[in-house]
Chains A and B, each alone.
Chain A
């Protein structure tokens, strides 16, 4: 078993780590405090070309394999979760179905600009009443001639209120449940498509998350992203594993950021005449955190490797996401304990990691759903 990253992947990791340290880390606190979309940083960072990471070189992408992509997602989250969410939405979920199913016209208008950061993309699933329960999606798409007309509201959409292009999950027939779902492309400026409420979030501040309203939004036939109607859930499964694993990678990044600050503090902070790192209970915390982070890392990158090798990955991706997330939540908690009262101040970072980490419980699937799904898979239908 060869667990090593290739020399190329090691180099990529070095570069992206440095790039994040240089461009994003110094702004992370400001992004969180201002709670505004960081347009200047977005321009600067997307100008480097990383948004094309997962797409072919021929169209200006990098053709990066899933393992390399995970390195990218992890480092971005380590820098600033509020920024990472927006970037990753453009790099993956918000553009994938356009890449997969869009006409060349649509690609020119939407995909390539999104890859350059010139257009902001988003993917819309969640609604007020449906998160895990996709089948309860109420946003409906009705055929009218060759056009589709969309009606409904989406909620908790990353990049939503500022999006130029939205991949919208809508149903053609609520009675069909999951089997009636489709992806549609809706572009800013289309009459009836408007941003709604912007959410004031506990964490991941800097990413604009909120409501999108579809009021008789008329879109042409080619805006159905798919070769067949009602195959939305099938298409989703093409990236579901990667999205879950990606969430795990983000969990690793956040955990690493918190852990590093905890370590620095333990080495320097003095209490009772010694650095606190000299005390057994603090040492035990690091032993536990390091062990679980190591395990999380192996699970996340193993899942990524399976995706790369085109091996089935539904179980591994779900496990990796869940385990890495639970580890991250433990790590950010422990670090706030290690930092003592200083963790209570907005001036220092541990509180931000603590707040940001919570989103991992929702992104990529809740753990209640994942556990039920895994348990069912293991035990079988009895």
Chain B
């Protein structure tokens, strides 16, 4: 069973994000992390591999520093890693990024593609589905359970008010939601293996892509400018004993703010 996992290195969720002087770029504190949803994807891939034997390949698109998330994948137990590294790949929208990833995935046979349901930097939640469409595969988004048998998979998705069970033939793509599993903490043996690992890199040329098809040039969506959300005025503390404060709060909410 060949399993591909798409992983993304994002700025640490606690990293400071500021808008660049030109208004169309971001100045982000250089602290990095693996996208949390991708951890669930890697973990699930490793569990499938344990049950079915096979190979787990992790792929990331990014600059050289993104190698760290690939090493983390190996430390957890992935067999191979691939970095898609090219100036031309950068600053793409979901479409351009998914296009490049799908090209890289298609280079080798695969049965299952796993990725996070969204990256918590861009918060787009598009790439997984788009990769599936580019490759002509069915996908199940936001899975919380996955059972793989010969040539088929049954997935559970949490929907409003309940749970839906869906079956797809393989190959197929699945995006991971929180609750799918508890990602393992790497053992030192994995860490050592990852530290020594030689990681393959591919450029646009290696994938047979013209720069115009990828990254910023290939994007269908452009950033016109960045801005900061409006600052809220300072909090108004409603004083008094619980009963008094409650009365005043309700008065404000109903008569002033007209919330209900």
Chain A directly contacts chain B within the complex, with at least one CB pair under 8 Å: yes
At the interface, yes or no: A362 with Cβ under 8 Å from chain B?
no
B 69-84 contacts with A by CB, 8 A: 71-72, 75
Chain B residues near A47: list those with CB within 8 A.
187
Contact residues of A with B, CB < 8 Å?
7-8, 10-12, 14-15, 18-19, 22-23, 47-50, 52-53, 57, 62, 270, 273
| Pair A12/B191 contact, Cβ less than 8 Å | yes
Contact with A along B80-119 (1 / 0, CB 8 A): 0000000000000000000000000000000000000000
A264 nearest CB neighbor, chain B only: B14
At the interface, yes or no: B185 with Cβ under 8 Å from chain A?
yes
Q: Which of A8, A10, A19 contacts B185 (CB 8 A)?
A: A19
Q: Which of B67, B187, B189, B195 contacts A12 (CB 8 A)?
A: B195
| Pair A11/B185 contact, Cβ less than 8 Å | no
Q: From residue A125, how far is it (CB to closest CB) to chain B in Å?
A: 29
At the interface, yes or no: B68 with Cβ under 8 Å from chain A?
yes
Chain B residues near A12: list those with CB within 8 A.
191, 195
Candidate in B68, B186, B192, B195 with the most chain A CB atoms within 10 angstroms: B195
| Pair B195/A48 contact, Cβ less than 8 Å | no
Q: Contacts A11-B195, A14-B68 given: A52-B188 contact, CB under 8 Å?
A: yes
B 173-199 contacts with A by CB, 8 A: 185-189, 191-192, 194-196
B183 nearest CB neighbor, chain A only: A22
Q: From residue A271, how far is it (CB to closest CB) to chain B in Å?
A: 12
Bound Cα distance A15, B189 (Å): 12
Bound Cα distance A7, B187 (Å): 19
Bound Cα distance A57, B196 (Å): 14
Chain A residues near B259: list those with CB within 8 A.
none
Q: Which of A11, A23, A52 contacts B68 (CB 8 A)?
A: A11
At the interface, yes or no: B237 with Cβ under 8 Å from chain A?
no
| Pair B186/A48 contact, Cβ less than 8 Å | yes
| Pair A62/B187 contact, Cβ less than 8 Å | no
Q: What is the interface of chain A mostly: helix, strand, loop, or mixed?
A: helix
Q: List 19 A-B contacts (CB under 8 A).
A: A7-B67, A10-B68, A11-B68, A11-B71, A11-B194, A14-B68, A14-B72, A15-B72, A15-B75, A19-B185, A22-B185, A23-B185, A48-B185, A48-B186, A48-B187, A49-B187, A49-B189, A53-B188, A62-B192
Bound Cα distance A48, B72 (Å): 15
| Pair B195/A8 contact, Cβ less than 8 Å | yes
* Contact size range, B: 10 to 19
Chain A residues near B185: list those with CB within 8 A.
18-19, 22-23, 48
Chain A residues near B68: list those with CB within 8 A.
10-11, 14
Total contacts A to B, CB within 8 angstroms?
A: 40
| Pair A15/B192 contact, Cβ less than 8 Å | no
At the interface, yes or no: B50 with Cβ under 8 Å from chain A?
no
At the interface, yes or no: B228 with Cβ under 8 Å from chain A?
no
Q: Contacts A11-B71, A15-B72, A15-B75 given: A49-B196 contact, CB under 8 Å?
A: no
Chain A residues near B224: list those with CB within 8 A.
none
- Known contacts A14-B72, A15-B186, A15-B194; 13 further A-B pairs (Cβ under 8 A): A11-B68, A15-B191, A19-B185, A19-B186, A48-B186, A48-B187, A48-B188, A49-B188, A49-B189, A50-B188, A53-B188, A270-B234, A273-B234
Chain A residues near B196: list those with CB within 8 A.
8
B 52-78 contacts with A by CB, 8 A: 67-68, 71-72, 75
B64 nearest CB neighbor, chain A only: A7
Chain B residues near A53: list those with CB within 8 A.
188
Chain A residues near B191: list those with CB within 8 A.
11-12, 15, 62
B75 nearest CB neighbor, chain A only: A15
A23 nearest CB neighbor, chain B only: B185
Bound Cα distance A52, B191 (Å): 13
Chain A residues near B71: list those with CB within 8 A.
11
- Counting from the closest, the 6 A-B pairs by CB-CB distance are A49-B188, A8-B195, A11-B71, A48-B187, A49-B187, A19-B185
Chain B residues near A57: list those with CB within 8 A.
192
Bound Cα distance A8, B74 (Å): 13
Q: From residue A30, how far is it (CB to closest CB) to chain B in Å?
A: 19
Bound Cα distance A23, B187 (Å): 13
Bound Cα distance A15, B234 (Å): 40
Bound Cα distance A8, B234 (Å): 47
Bound Cα distance A8, B72 (Å): 12
Q: From residue A9, how far is it (CB to closest CB) to chain B in Å?
A: 8
Chain B residues near A14: list those with CB within 8 A.
68, 72
Q: Contacts A11-B71, A14-B68 given: A62-B188 contact, CB under 8 Å?
A: yes
A49 nearest CB neighbor, chain B only: B188
Chain B residues near A52: list those with CB within 8 A.
188
Chain A residues near B186: list those with CB within 8 A.
15, 19, 48
B235 nearest CB neighbor, chain A only: A270
Bound Cα distance A133, B187 (Å): 40
Candidate in B188, B194, B234 with the most chain A CB atoms within 10 angstroms: B188
Contact with A along B185-218 (1 / 0, CB 8 A): 1111101101110000000000000000000000
Contact with A along B33-67 (1 / 0, CB 8 A): 00000000000000000000000000000000001
Chain B residues near A8: list those with CB within 8 A.
195-196
B 145-166 contacts with A by CB, 8 A: none
Bound Cα distance A169, B131 (Å): 64
Chain B residues near A19: list those with CB within 8 A.
185-186
Bound Cα distance A327, B234 (Å): 37
Bound Cα distance A149, B71 (Å): 52
Chain A residues near B194: list those with CB within 8 A.
11, 15
Q: From residue B4, how far is it (CB to closest CB) to chain A in Å?
A: 22
Chain B residues near A273: list those with CB within 8 A.
234
A7 nearest CB neighbor, chain B only: B67
Q: From residue A191, how far is it (CB to closest CB) to chain B in Å?
A: 37
Chain B residues near A10: list those with CB within 8 A.
68
Bound Cα distance A47, B184 (Å): 12
Bound Cα distance A316, B168 (Å): 63
A63 nearest CB neighbor, chain B only: B192
